[in-house]
Amino acid sequence: MLDEKVNIDINEFLKTLNFKTNIIYFIKWGIFSVIIGVVVGFAGASFGHAISFATDFWQSHRYTLYLLPIFGLIISALYHFIHADNPRGTNWVIDSISSGETIPLKMAPTIYLSSFLTHLGAGSAGREGAALQIGGSLGNFIGRKLKLGQTSFSDKADINIAIMCGMASCFSALFGTPISASIFSMEIFSVGVMYHAALIPCLLSSYIAVYVAKLMNTPVEKFIIQRAPDWNFRLVGFMILLAALTAIVAILFSVAMHESANIYKRFFKNPYIRIVVAAVLFIILTILSGSRDYNGGGFWLIERSMSGNVRYEAFLMKILFTAVAMGGGFKGGEIVPTFVIGATFGGAFAKFFGLPYELCTACGMIACFVGVTNCPIASIFMGLEFCGSLGINYYAIVVGVSFVLSGYYGLYSSQKFAYSKTEARYVGSDAVSIRKKRQNS
Protein backbone atom coordinates (compact mmCIF):
# COMPACT_ATOMS: atom_id res chain seq x y z
CA MET A 1 0.00 0.00 0.00
CA LEU A 2 2.85 2.36 0.85
CA ASP A 3 4.61 1.72 -2.46
CA GLU A 4 1.36 2.29 -4.32
CA LYS A 5 0.80 5.60 -2.52
CA VAL A 6 4.36 6.72 -3.30
CA ASN A 7 3.91 5.89 -6.99
CA ILE A 8 0.68 7.89 -7.09
CA ASP A 9 2.35 10.89 -5.45
CA ILE A 10 5.27 10.75 -7.88
CA ASN A 11 2.92 10.59 -10.86
CA GLU A 12 0.96 13.56 -9.57
CA PHE A 13 4.21 15.45 -9.01
CA LEU A 14 5.42 14.72 -12.54
CA LYS A 15 2.14 15.97 -13.93
CA THR A 16 2.55 19.30 -12.13
CA LEU A 17 5.95 19.76 -13.74
CA ASN A 18 4.32 19.75 -17.17
CA PHE A 19 7.43 18.47 -18.94
CA LYS A 20 5.89 18.75 -22.37
CA THR A 21 5.33 22.50 -22.06
CA ASN A 22 8.79 23.06 -20.60
CA ILE A 23 10.53 21.03 -23.27
CA ILE A 24 8.66 22.87 -26.03
CA TYR A 25 9.69 26.17 -24.39
CA PHE A 26 13.38 25.20 -24.31
CA ILE A 27 13.47 23.88 -27.86
CA LYS A 28 11.43 26.76 -29.27
CA TRP A 29 13.42 29.53 -27.62
CA GLY A 30 16.68 27.71 -28.03
CA ILE A 31 16.19 27.95 -31.79
CA PHE A 32 14.57 31.40 -31.91
CA SER A 33 17.11 32.97 -29.55
CA VAL A 34 20.02 31.78 -31.66
CA ILE A 35 18.42 33.21 -34.81
CA ILE A 36 17.73 36.57 -33.14
CA GLY A 37 21.17 36.63 -31.51
CA VAL A 38 22.97 36.05 -34.81
CA VAL A 39 20.92 38.49 -36.90
CA VAL A 40 20.72 41.26 -34.32
CA GLY A 41 24.27 40.62 -33.15
CA PHE A 42 25.51 41.21 -36.68
CA ALA A 43 23.42 44.39 -36.98
CA GLY A 44 24.62 45.63 -33.58
CA ALA A 45 28.25 44.87 -34.37
CA SER A 46 28.10 46.68 -37.70
CA PHE A 47 26.42 49.61 -35.96
CA GLY A 48 29.21 49.67 -33.38
CA HIS A 49 31.82 49.80 -36.15
CA ALA A 50 29.88 52.59 -37.89
CA ILE A 51 29.73 54.71 -34.72
CA SER A 52 33.44 54.12 -34.01
CA PHE A 53 34.27 55.17 -37.57
CA ALA A 54 32.13 58.31 -37.23
CA THR A 55 33.79 59.19 -33.92
CA ASP A 56 37.32 58.68 -35.25
CA PHE A 57 36.47 60.68 -38.35
CA TRP A 58 35.15 63.79 -36.59
CA GLN A 59 38.04 63.72 -34.14
CA SER A 60 40.53 63.85 -37.02
CA HIS A 61 38.38 66.07 -39.29
CA ARG A 62 37.01 68.77 -37.02
CA TYR A 63 35.13 70.48 -39.85
CA THR A 64 32.33 67.88 -39.69
CA LEU A 65 30.87 69.85 -36.77
CA TYR A 66 29.90 72.58 -39.22
CA LEU A 67 28.11 70.02 -41.40
CA LEU A 68 25.73 69.26 -38.53
CA PRO A 69 22.87 71.42 -39.96
CA ILE A 70 23.04 69.46 -43.24
CA PHE A 71 23.13 66.16 -41.39
CA GLY A 72 20.13 67.36 -39.38
CA LEU A 73 18.11 68.05 -42.50
CA ILE A 74 18.91 64.57 -43.80
CA ILE A 75 17.79 63.03 -40.48
CA SER A 76 14.49 64.93 -40.58
CA ALA A 77 13.97 63.83 -44.19
CA LEU A 78 14.59 60.19 -43.24
CA TYR A 79 11.95 60.31 -40.52
CA HIS A 80 9.52 62.16 -42.78
CA PHE A 81 10.02 59.38 -45.33
CA ILE A 82 8.86 56.74 -42.82
CA HIS A 83 5.97 59.01 -41.69
CA ALA A 84 7.44 59.71 -38.26
CA ASP A 85 7.98 63.48 -38.10
CA ASN A 86 7.68 63.29 -34.31
CA PRO A 87 9.40 59.98 -33.54
CA ARG A 88 9.06 58.43 -30.07
CA GLY A 89 12.40 56.66 -30.07
CA THR A 90 12.87 54.07 -27.33
CA ASN A 91 9.40 54.91 -25.98
CA TRP A 92 8.01 53.34 -29.16
CA VAL A 93 9.67 50.04 -28.23
CA ILE A 94 8.38 50.25 -24.65
CA ASP A 95 4.85 50.98 -25.89
CA SER A 96 4.99 47.95 -28.17
CA ILE A 97 5.22 45.65 -25.13
CA SER A 98 2.41 47.21 -23.11
CA SER A 99 0.00 47.95 -25.96
CA GLY A 100 0.94 45.39 -28.60
CA GLU A 101 1.77 48.14 -31.07
CA THR A 102 3.83 46.93 -34.02
CA ILE A 103 7.36 48.28 -34.45
CA PRO A 104 7.98 48.79 -38.18
CA LEU A 105 11.14 47.26 -39.65
CA LYS A 106 11.98 50.57 -41.37
CA MET A 107 12.67 51.98 -37.93
CA ALA A 108 15.95 49.99 -37.75
CA PRO A 109 17.76 51.45 -40.80
CA THR A 110 16.37 54.92 -40.04
CA ILE A 111 17.76 55.11 -36.52
CA TYR A 112 20.97 53.42 -37.71
CA LEU A 113 21.65 56.11 -40.35
CA SER A 114 20.41 58.97 -38.16
CA SER A 115 22.67 57.99 -35.26
CA PHE A 116 25.62 57.61 -37.61
CA LEU A 117 25.07 61.12 -39.01
CA THR A 118 24.67 62.57 -35.51
CA HIS A 119 27.99 61.07 -34.43
CA LEU A 120 29.68 62.02 -37.68
CA GLY A 121 28.76 65.63 -36.96
CA ALA A 122 30.11 65.31 -33.40
CA GLY A 123 26.65 65.58 -31.85
CA SER A 124 26.42 64.71 -28.17
CA ALA A 125 24.65 61.37 -28.15
CA GLY A 126 25.19 57.73 -27.32
CA ARG A 127 24.58 54.51 -29.14
CA GLU A 128 22.55 52.21 -26.89
CA GLY A 129 19.21 54.00 -27.34
CA ALA A 130 19.58 53.43 -31.05
CA ALA A 131 20.63 49.85 -30.28
CA LEU A 132 17.42 49.25 -28.32
CA GLN A 133 15.37 50.58 -31.22
CA ILE A 134 17.32 48.60 -33.83
CA GLY A 135 17.15 45.45 -31.73
CA GLY A 136 13.49 45.88 -30.88
CA SER A 137 12.56 46.49 -34.50
CA LEU A 138 14.53 43.49 -35.76
CA GLY A 139 13.30 41.27 -32.92
CA ASN A 140 9.72 42.19 -33.77
CA PHE A 141 10.34 41.51 -37.48
CA ILE A 142 12.02 38.15 -36.89
CA GLY A 143 9.31 37.12 -34.43
CA ARG A 144 6.57 37.83 -36.93
CA LYS A 145 8.45 36.06 -39.71
CA LEU A 146 8.73 33.04 -37.40
CA LYS A 147 4.96 33.39 -36.86
CA LEU A 148 5.21 33.80 -33.10
CA GLY A 149 1.74 34.03 -31.63
CA GLN A 150 0.23 32.66 -34.82
CA THR A 151 0.74 28.91 -34.36
CA SER A 152 -0.43 26.25 -31.89
CA PHE A 153 2.98 26.02 -30.16
CA SER A 154 3.34 29.78 -29.74
CA ASP A 155 1.61 32.17 -27.35
CA LYS A 156 0.57 35.67 -28.43
CA ALA A 157 2.94 37.18 -25.87
CA ASP A 158 5.91 35.44 -27.52
CA ILE A 159 6.33 38.40 -29.84
CA ASN A 160 7.12 40.50 -26.75
CA ILE A 161 9.87 38.06 -25.79
CA ALA A 162 11.28 38.33 -29.31
CA ILE A 163 11.38 42.13 -28.97
CA MET A 164 13.17 41.84 -25.62
CA CYS A 165 15.66 39.39 -27.13
CA GLY A 166 16.35 41.84 -29.94
CA MET A 167 16.90 44.70 -27.51
CA ALA A 168 19.19 42.62 -25.29
CA SER A 169 21.16 41.29 -28.27
CA CYS A 170 21.91 44.69 -29.80
CA PHE A 171 22.71 46.25 -26.43
CA SER A 172 25.11 43.43 -25.48
CA ALA A 173 26.76 43.44 -28.91
CA LEU A 174 27.70 47.09 -28.38
CA PHE A 175 28.69 46.96 -24.72
CA GLY A 176 29.73 43.34 -24.20
CA THR A 177 27.43 43.09 -21.16
CA PRO A 178 25.06 40.16 -21.83
CA ILE A 179 23.69 39.74 -18.29
CA SER A 180 22.90 43.39 -17.63
CA ALA A 181 21.56 43.81 -21.18
CA SER A 182 19.20 40.86 -20.67
CA ILE A 183 17.90 42.05 -17.32
CA PHE A 184 17.63 45.64 -18.53
CA SER A 185 15.47 44.53 -21.47
CA MET A 186 13.18 42.66 -19.06
CA GLU A 187 13.12 45.37 -16.38
CA ILE A 188 12.72 48.57 -18.41
CA PHE A 189 9.05 48.15 -19.34
CA SER A 190 7.45 48.00 -15.91
CA VAL A 191 9.26 48.99 -12.71
CA GLY A 192 8.65 46.37 -10.03
CA VAL A 193 7.71 43.59 -12.45
CA MET A 194 10.02 41.53 -14.65
CA TYR A 195 9.01 39.24 -17.49
CA HIS A 196 10.83 36.15 -16.22
CA ALA A 197 9.70 34.05 -19.18
CA ALA A 198 12.14 36.12 -21.24
CA LEU A 199 15.17 35.39 -19.04
CA ILE A 200 16.60 32.36 -20.83
CA PRO A 201 15.78 33.65 -24.35
CA CYS A 202 17.35 37.05 -23.60
CA LEU A 203 20.45 35.55 -22.03
CA LEU A 204 21.00 33.09 -24.85
CA SER A 205 20.47 35.65 -27.62
CA SER A 206 22.70 38.15 -25.78
CA TYR A 207 25.60 35.72 -25.42
CA ILE A 208 25.24 34.75 -29.07
CA ALA A 209 25.28 38.45 -30.04
CA VAL A 210 28.41 39.07 -27.94
CA TYR A 211 30.12 36.15 -29.68
CA VAL A 212 29.14 37.51 -33.10
CA ALA A 213 30.41 40.96 -32.12
CA LYS A 214 33.75 39.47 -31.01
CA LEU A 215 34.09 37.63 -34.32
CA MET A 216 33.62 40.98 -36.05
CA ASN A 217 36.16 42.68 -33.75
CA THR A 218 33.59 45.18 -32.57
CA PRO A 219 35.17 47.79 -30.26
CA VAL A 220 33.83 47.56 -26.69
CA GLU A 221 34.44 50.17 -24.00
CA LYS A 222 34.85 49.02 -20.38
CA PHE A 223 36.22 50.79 -17.34
CA ILE A 224 37.43 48.13 -14.94
CA ILE A 225 38.38 49.22 -11.44
CA GLN A 226 41.92 48.01 -10.75
CA ARG A 227 41.73 48.46 -6.99
CA ALA A 228 39.07 49.25 -4.43
CA PRO A 229 39.49 50.29 -0.79
CA ASP A 230 38.53 47.95 2.01
CA TRP A 231 35.00 48.18 3.31
CA ASN A 232 34.69 50.89 5.95
CA PHE A 233 31.81 52.93 7.36
CA ARG A 234 33.41 56.27 6.51
CA LEU A 235 33.52 55.42 2.82
CA VAL A 236 30.02 53.93 2.98
CA GLY A 237 28.78 57.28 4.29
CA PHE A 238 30.43 59.09 1.40
CA MET A 239 28.94 56.64 -1.11
CA ILE A 240 25.47 57.26 0.31
CA LEU A 241 26.04 61.00 -0.08
CA LEU A 242 27.37 60.50 -3.62
CA ALA A 243 24.31 58.42 -4.55
CA ALA A 244 21.92 60.98 -3.08
CA LEU A 245 23.54 63.82 -5.01
CA THR A 246 23.75 61.74 -8.18
CA ALA A 247 20.01 61.06 -7.92
CA ILE A 248 19.50 64.83 -8.15
CA VAL A 249 21.82 64.94 -11.18
CA ALA A 250 19.81 62.11 -12.79
CA ILE A 251 16.58 64.03 -12.23
CA LEU A 252 18.17 67.15 -13.70
CA PHE A 253 19.27 65.23 -16.80
CA SER A 254 15.85 63.59 -17.26
CA VAL A 255 14.03 66.92 -16.91
CA ALA A 256 16.52 68.64 -19.24
CA MET A 257 15.98 66.00 -21.93
CA HIS A 258 12.17 66.20 -21.76
CA GLU A 259 11.92 69.98 -21.41
CA SER A 260 14.43 70.72 -24.16
CA ALA A 261 12.34 68.66 -26.59
CA ASN A 262 9.17 70.46 -25.45
CA ILE A 263 10.77 73.91 -25.82
CA TYR A 264 12.00 73.15 -29.33
CA LYS A 265 8.54 71.91 -30.36
CA ARG A 266 6.84 74.92 -28.78
CA PHE A 267 8.88 77.49 -30.68
CA PHE A 268 9.67 75.54 -33.87
CA LYS A 269 6.76 73.49 -35.18
CA ASN A 270 8.59 72.49 -38.34
CA PRO A 271 10.99 69.58 -37.65
CA TYR A 272 13.44 70.78 -40.34
CA ILE A 273 13.75 74.24 -38.78
CA ARG A 274 13.89 72.69 -35.32
CA ILE A 275 16.85 70.46 -36.05
CA VAL A 276 18.78 73.18 -37.89
CA VAL A 277 18.32 75.51 -34.91
CA ALA A 278 19.58 72.72 -32.64
CA ALA A 279 22.63 72.24 -34.87
CA VAL A 280 23.45 75.97 -34.86
CA LEU A 281 23.06 76.18 -31.08
CA PHE A 282 25.28 73.13 -30.66
CA ILE A 283 28.00 74.65 -32.85
CA ILE A 284 27.84 77.92 -30.90
CA LEU A 285 28.07 76.06 -27.59
CA THR A 286 31.11 74.13 -28.81
CA ILE A 287 32.87 77.31 -29.93
CA LEU A 288 32.08 79.13 -26.67
CA SER A 289 33.28 76.21 -24.55
CA GLY A 290 36.62 76.22 -26.38
CA SER A 291 36.70 72.44 -26.19
CA ARG A 292 35.50 69.36 -28.01
CA ASP A 293 35.26 67.38 -24.77
CA TYR A 294 31.47 67.45 -24.79
CA ASN A 295 31.00 66.45 -28.43
CA GLY A 296 30.23 62.87 -29.41
CA GLY A 297 29.66 60.11 -26.87
CA GLY A 298 32.32 61.25 -24.43
CA PHE A 299 33.87 58.01 -23.19
CA TRP A 300 37.19 59.85 -22.91
CA LEU A 301 35.70 61.89 -20.07
CA ILE A 302 35.13 58.68 -18.10
CA GLU A 303 38.79 57.75 -18.56
CA ARG A 304 39.86 61.17 -17.32
CA SER A 305 37.54 60.96 -14.34
CA MET A 306 39.05 57.64 -13.30
CA SER A 307 42.51 59.22 -13.32
CA GLY A 308 41.40 62.36 -11.47
CA ASN A 309 41.61 64.68 -14.48
CA VAL A 310 38.05 66.03 -14.42
CA ARG A 311 36.57 69.53 -14.32
CA TYR A 312 33.91 70.24 -11.72
CA GLU A 313 31.42 71.55 -14.29
CA ALA A 314 31.91 68.68 -16.77
CA PHE A 315 28.68 66.87 -15.81
CA LEU A 316 26.62 70.05 -16.28
CA MET A 317 28.23 70.74 -19.64
CA LYS A 318 27.45 67.22 -20.85
CA ILE A 319 23.82 67.59 -19.77
CA LEU A 320 23.56 70.89 -21.65
CA PHE A 321 25.22 69.63 -24.85
CA THR A 322 23.15 66.44 -24.92
CA ALA A 323 19.85 68.22 -24.27
CA VAL A 324 20.54 70.80 -26.99
CA ALA A 325 21.41 68.17 -29.59
CA MET A 326 18.92 65.39 -28.87
CA GLY A 327 16.09 67.65 -27.79
CA GLY A 328 16.22 69.26 -31.22
CA GLY A 329 15.91 66.00 -33.11
CA PHE A 330 19.37 64.48 -33.41
CA LYS A 331 19.44 60.75 -32.79
CA GLY A 332 21.43 58.30 -30.74
CA GLY A 333 21.28 56.99 -27.21
CA GLU A 334 20.89 58.59 -23.82
CA ILE A 335 22.74 55.94 -21.79
CA VAL A 336 26.31 56.76 -22.87
CA PRO A 337 25.75 60.44 -21.96
CA THR A 338 24.23 59.16 -18.70
CA PHE A 339 27.40 57.18 -17.97
CA VAL A 340 29.53 60.22 -18.77
CA ILE A 341 27.43 62.56 -16.64
CA GLY A 342 27.48 60.19 -13.68
CA ALA A 343 31.17 59.42 -14.09
CA THR A 344 32.26 63.06 -14.28
CA PHE A 345 30.08 63.95 -11.31
CA GLY A 346 31.57 61.03 -9.37
CA GLY A 347 35.08 62.13 -10.37
CA ALA A 348 34.38 65.69 -9.25
CA PHE A 349 32.97 64.35 -5.96
CA ALA A 350 36.15 62.32 -5.40
CA LYS A 351 38.30 65.33 -6.23
CA PHE A 352 36.44 67.56 -3.78
CA PHE A 353 36.50 65.11 -0.84
CA GLY A 354 39.83 63.43 -1.59
CA LEU A 355 38.32 59.99 -2.24
CA PRO A 356 39.38 57.17 -4.65
CA TYR A 357 38.76 58.37 -8.20
CA GLU A 358 38.11 54.98 -9.78
CA LEU A 359 35.51 53.92 -7.22
CA CYS A 360 33.66 57.25 -7.19
CA THR A 361 33.65 57.43 -10.98
CA ALA A 362 32.21 53.91 -11.28
CA CYS A 363 29.65 54.48 -8.50
CA GLY A 364 28.59 57.83 -9.97
CA MET A 365 28.14 56.20 -13.36
CA ILE A 366 25.99 53.38 -11.98
CA ALA A 367 23.99 55.65 -9.66
CA CYS A 368 23.14 57.95 -12.57
CA PHE A 369 22.20 54.96 -14.74
CA VAL A 370 19.66 53.66 -12.22
CA GLY A 371 18.40 57.20 -11.62
CA VAL A 372 17.36 57.68 -15.26
CA THR A 373 16.31 54.10 -16.10
CA ASN A 374 14.72 52.91 -12.82
CA CYS A 375 16.26 49.48 -13.36
CA PRO A 376 18.08 48.59 -10.11
CA ILE A 377 18.91 44.94 -10.77
CA ALA A 378 20.26 45.67 -14.24
CA SER A 379 22.27 48.56 -12.78
CA ILE A 380 24.08 46.35 -10.27
CA PHE A 381 24.96 43.87 -13.01
CA MET A 382 26.01 46.75 -15.24
CA GLY A 383 28.49 47.74 -12.55
CA LEU A 384 29.86 44.21 -12.43
CA GLU A 385 30.19 43.79 -16.20
CA PHE A 386 31.21 47.36 -17.02
CA CYS A 387 33.49 48.20 -14.09
CA GLY A 388 34.48 44.85 -12.57
CA SER A 389 33.59 43.10 -9.32
CA LEU A 390 35.91 44.88 -6.88
CA GLY A 391 33.35 47.56 -6.05
CA ILE A 392 30.26 45.33 -5.84
CA ASN A 393 29.43 46.22 -2.22
CA TYR A 394 29.49 49.91 -3.05
CA TYR A 395 27.57 49.42 -6.30
CA ALA A 396 24.68 47.88 -4.39
CA ILE A 397 24.55 50.79 -1.95
CA VAL A 398 24.58 53.58 -4.54
CA VAL A 399 22.04 51.79 -6.73
CA GLY A 400 19.60 51.40 -3.84
CA VAL A 401 19.93 54.99 -2.65
CA SER A 402 19.78 56.59 -6.10
CA PHE A 403 16.87 54.38 -7.19
CA VAL A 404 14.71 55.56 -4.26
CA LEU A 405 15.75 59.22 -4.20
CA SER A 406 15.42 59.76 -7.96
CA GLY A 407 11.68 59.30 -7.47
CA TYR A 408 9.41 58.79 -10.45
CA TYR A 409 11.60 60.58 -12.96
CA GLY A 410 13.34 58.91 -15.88
CA LEU A 411 14.31 59.19 -19.51
CA TYR A 412 11.46 57.06 -20.84
CA SER A 413 7.99 58.56 -20.43
CA SER A 414 6.32 55.34 -21.57
CA GLN A 415 7.85 53.36 -18.70
CA LYS A 416 5.25 52.03 -16.25
CA PHE A 417 5.57 51.77 -12.48
CA ALA A 418 3.82 48.62 -11.34
CA TYR A 419 4.83 49.02 -7.70
CA SER A 420 5.71 52.00 -5.54
CA LYS A 421 9.38 52.76 -4.87
CA THR A 422 8.77 53.59 -1.22
CA GLU A 423 5.69 51.56 -0.23
CA ALA A 424 4.82 47.88 -0.56
CA ARG A 425 1.81 48.50 -2.76
CA TYR A 426 0.72 48.34 -6.37
CA VAL A 427 0.43 51.68 -8.20
CA GLY A 428 0.13 50.57 -11.83
CA SER A 429 0.71 53.92 -13.50
CA ASP A 430 3.21 55.93 -15.49
CA ALA A 431 5.69 58.34 -13.92
CA VAL A 432 3.93 61.51 -15.09
CA SER A 433 0.60 60.44 -13.55
CA ILE A 434 2.24 59.52 -10.24
CA ARG A 435 4.07 62.86 -10.03
CA LYS A 436 0.84 64.78 -10.75
CA LYS A 437 -1.04 62.87 -8.04
CA ARG A 438 1.69 63.66 -5.53
CA GLN A 439 1.70 67.34 -6.49
CA ASN A 440 -2.08 67.57 -6.07
CA SER A 441 -2.17 65.69 -2.77
Q: Is the pLDDT of residue 355 over 90?
A: yes
What band does 5 get if pLDDT is binned at 50, 70 and 90?
very low
Query: What predicted TM-score, i.e. pTM, was given to this entire model?
Result: 0.92
Burial class (CB in 10 A: 0-12, 13-18, 19+), 232: exposed
What band does 423 get if pLDDT is binned at 50, 70 and 90?
confident
Q: Give 279-338 pLDDT, tens digit per residue.
A: 999 999 999 999 999 999 999 999 999 999 999 999 999 999 999 999 999 999 899 999
**Residue 54 and residue 71 in contact, taking contact as beta carbons nearer than 8 Å:** no
Task: Indicate the domain borders of the chain.
Answer: 19-216, 233-410
- 428: Cβ contacts below 8 Å, ≥ 6 apart: 416, 417, 418
Q: Is the pLDDT of residue 89 over 90?
A: no
- What CATH architecture does domain 233-410 belong to? Orthogonal Bundle (1.10)
Three-class DSSP category at 416: strand
What band does 87 get if pLDDT is binned at 50, 70 and 90?
confident
Percentage of the chain surpassing pLDDT 70?
A: 90
- Cα separation of 392 and 228, whole Å? 10
Return the amino acid letter for 131.
Answer: A
Q: Is the pLDDT of residue 2 over 50?
A: no
Q: State the pLDDT at residue 441.
A: 59
What average pLDDT does the segment 389-402 reach? 96
Class of 19-216 per CATH?
mainly alpha
**Residue 195 and residue 160 in contact, taking contact as beta carbons nearer than 8 Å:** yes
**Residue 97 and residue 189 in contact, taking contact as beta carbons nearer than 8 Å:** yes
- Cα separation of 363 and 342, whole Å? 8
Q: What is the CA radius of gyration of the chain?
A: 22
For helices 357-373 and 376-387, angle between their N-to-C axes, nearest 10 degrees: 150
Angle at 167 between CA 165 and CA 170, to 5 degrees: 105
Q: State the pLDDT at residue 270.
A: 94
Q: State the pLDDT at residue 432.
A: 60
Q: Give 22-70 pLDDT, tens digit per residue.
A: 788 888 899 999 999 999 999 999 999 999 999 999 999 999 999 999 9
